[in-house]
Amino acid sequence: MSDTAPNLALPAGRYEMMLMIRLLEERIARLFQEGKIHGTAHLCIGQEACAVGAVSAAQRTDPIVSTHRGHGHFLARSADPAALMAELLGKVTGPCMGRGGSQHLCSRDLAFYGTNGITGGGIPIATGLALSQKLDKTALAVLCFFGDGAANQGTFHESLNMASIWNLPVVYICENNLYAMSTPIRESMRVSEVADRAAAYGLEAMRLDGMDVDEVREGVGVALRRARAGEGPTLVEAKCYRFCGHSKSDRLVYRSREEEERWRRRDPISSYRERLISRGLRQDELRQLERRAAQRIERAYEQAQAAEEPAPQQVLVPPYRKVDTGP
């Protein structure tokens, strides 16, 4: 097998990318415990199908706006785990030269307009990006990720209204993992689904199974085509579940082990593996691909570990590094 980046247009490539995200985040969790990564990090373990499905439906130059839970979005776009790892370890080879970290991770070269520690903070940024695509008459459409908690922020309501009246090329993707920190969605909104709110602003609504990478890819693909055709924005709700705590200090007292187990049985990675086998992919091919994904993450860690720390005199240099955008 070659060592080119996983091809997300192919089912095996989507499987490999989901696995890379999972393995990278498990590595990140260990590095946190060992005190090698500082600050905070929110893991998307369990939500990989949303990231890979949505990003795989977009063109490489379509702008992406992410959230505080954004490692998966970044990796799906960049396919460069070493850059992400370096950023988290504060090394100069990170896309923000180690100064962005998990919560301020961005790369103009990748049209990746940032993870964001402010709940709902990315939604107006995505809306502005969509307005600029329209004014500049580009053929690009924006992917805007956010959580169910962010759908209760004013930024969500104002942005959706504005995007709707101006018919902006943007796809709003709510990764509804049923909780905002410890608050279950049923305690924070009266409507049963975030997608119900699309009607209030005259947007198309789309409800997707966020544990199914192909369903997300297909649905977001339809929404992107609508956006590009000038048919306006869509509010996509992808129901999913985070398998880990909200962040590193969460004891998960607000949800039951039974609920977690129910969702774990729908693990987006193992269930997709079964689907690929039922469609004729051989076990040994999958195992080879799994070994390669694990090697890629280990190599990424070694490269990031070996990279330089930023020099003090670099502090005034704008924190952007050119990222290899591949072929």
Ligand X SMILES: Cc1ncc(C[n+]2csc(CCOP(=O)(O)OP(=O)(O)O)c2C)c(N)n1
- Write out the residues near ligand X by the rule CB under 6 A: 42, 68-69, 117-119, 147-150, 177, 179-181, 246
Burial of 88 (0-12, 13-18, 19+ CB in 10 A): buried
Residue 210 is given by DSSP the state T
Least Å distance, CB 307 to ligand X, is 29
- Which C-beta is closer to ligand X: that of 118 or that of 306? 118
Least Å distance, CB 177 to Mg ion, is 4
Is position 67 an interface residue for Mg ion (rule: CB under 5 A)?
no
Least Å distance, CB 233 to Mg ion, is 21
d(CA 159, CA 157): 6
- Which C-beta is closer to Mg ion: that of 66 or that of 177? 177
Least Å distance, CB 263 to ligand X, is 14
Residue 44 is given by DSSP the state -
Residues forming a β-bridge with 107: 112
- Which C-beta is closer to ligand X: that of 70 or that of 90? 70
301 binds, among Mg ion, ligand X, none (CB under 5 to 8 A by kind): none
Largest CA distance in the chain: 56
197 binds, among ligand X, Mg ion, none (CB under 5 to 8 A by kind): none
Least Å distance, CB 288 to ligand X, is 33
118 binds, among ligand X, Mg ion, none (CB under 5 to 8 A by kind): ligand X
Cβ-proximal residue to Mg ion, closest one: 147
- Which C-beta is closer to Mg ion: that of 80 or that of 237? 237
Tokens 């924005």 correspond to what residue?
Answer: 233
Cβ-proximal residue to ligand X, closest one: 147
What is the secondary structure of 91-157 as a DSSP string?
-TTSTTTTSSTTTS--BTTTTB----SSTTTHHHHHHHHHHHHHHTT-S--EEEEEETTGGGSHHHH
- Which C-beta is closer to ligand X: that of 40 or that of 303? 40
- Which C-beta is closer to ligand X: that of 241 or that of 272? 241
Task: Kindly tell me the sign of the dihedral angle through the C-alpha atoms of 115, 117, 120, 123.
Answer: negative
Q: Which residues contact residue 138 at a Cβ distance below 8 angstroms, ignoring those fewer than 6 apart?
A: none
DSSP strand pairing (234-239 vs 179-180): unpaired
- Which C-beta is closer to ligand X: that of 22 or that of 68? 68
105 binds, among Mg ion, ligand X, none (CB under 5 to 8 A by kind): none
Least Å distance, CB 131 to ligand X, is 22
d(CA 132, CA 125): 11
With contact defined as beta carbons under 8 Å apart, do 205 and 235 qualify? yes
- Which C-beta is closer to Mg ion: that of 155 or that of 177? 177
Least Å distance, CB 152 to ligand X, is 8
Which residues, numbered 142-181, are part of the site for Mg ion (CB under 5 A)? 147-148, 177, 180
d(CA 238, CA 49): 10
Which amino acid is located at 234 in the chain?
Answer: T
134 binds, among Mg ion, ligand X, none (CB under 5 to 8 A by kind): none
Q: Which residues contact residue 298 at a Cβ distance below 8 angstroms, ignoring those fewer than 6 apart?
A: none
239 binds, among ligand X, Mg ion, none (CB under 5 to 8 A by kind): none
Residue 90 is given by DSSP the state T
Least Å distance, CB 191 to ligand X, is 15
Interface contacts to Mg ion, rule CB under 5 A = 147-148, 177, 180
